[in-house]
Structure 1
């Protein structure tokens, strides 16, 4: 049961986490995945379908950059819509977590 809530929380926050990473500047897929693994324990396999969806939704744009160590890397960056959505999601997240924290404090 404990694992279940952690998994659900990660899934629910994954979009926001990706948008937060990209709000700091453009990044390629493996770099985004590595950052999320280190920060919140999300695996690489969940990132690429999400990035495709975000691209289709107009939240991120991409560009290919040649790499001397292998195939070209696809870099992702927030679009103006992505920046707007990130700010809205960040505000919603802060309101939600503040409300949950208040409930948890009241139970102590």
Structure 2
């Protein structure tokens, strides 16, 4: 898969996981891994980018004597998911066009 496309899809997967419930890094990896493989070294830059873009808000909660960072989706993050669905429909139309052209070449 194209690197830029995959990057965008991973962002949406992370937002979707957090949209279900506030979550922390390790749990997000577990949730997202049901559909795509993601490592800590991939996740944390995504989380920072989504936070700096205003798509996620961050807060800390004490857990076993240390602070755990939790991520909460913002309204802007929910709009980004909605925008993704609209863009996805464009990709489906492009896919269908390409498949149609491939069939006529056979």
Q: CA deviation at 1:47?
A: 0.8
Unaligned ranges ≥5, structure 1 = none
RMSD: 2.1
Q: CA shift at 1:94, angstroms? A: 3.4
Shift, 1:76, TM fit: 0.5
CA distance in 2, matches of 1:94, 1:23: 21
User: Quick one: distance in 1 between partners of 2:4 and 2:84?
Assistant: 17
Compute the displacement of 1:105 (Å). 3.8
Moved over 4 A (4+): 6-9
**Unmatched 5+ residue regions in structure 2?**
none
Helix, strand or coil at the partner of 2:35: helix
TM-score, with normalisation over the residues of structure 1? 0.77
Match of 1:42 in 2: 38
**Using the alignment, how far apart are the partners of 1:45 and 1:18 within structure 2?**
14
Could you tell me which residue of structure 2 aligns to residue 82 of structure 1?
A: 77
> Which of these two proteins has the greater Rg computed from alpha carbons?
2
Q: What are the residue-to-residue correspondences of 1:1-108 with 2, within 5 Å? A: 5=1, 9-68=5-64, 71-96=66-91, 98-103=92-97, 105-106=99-100, 107-108=102-103
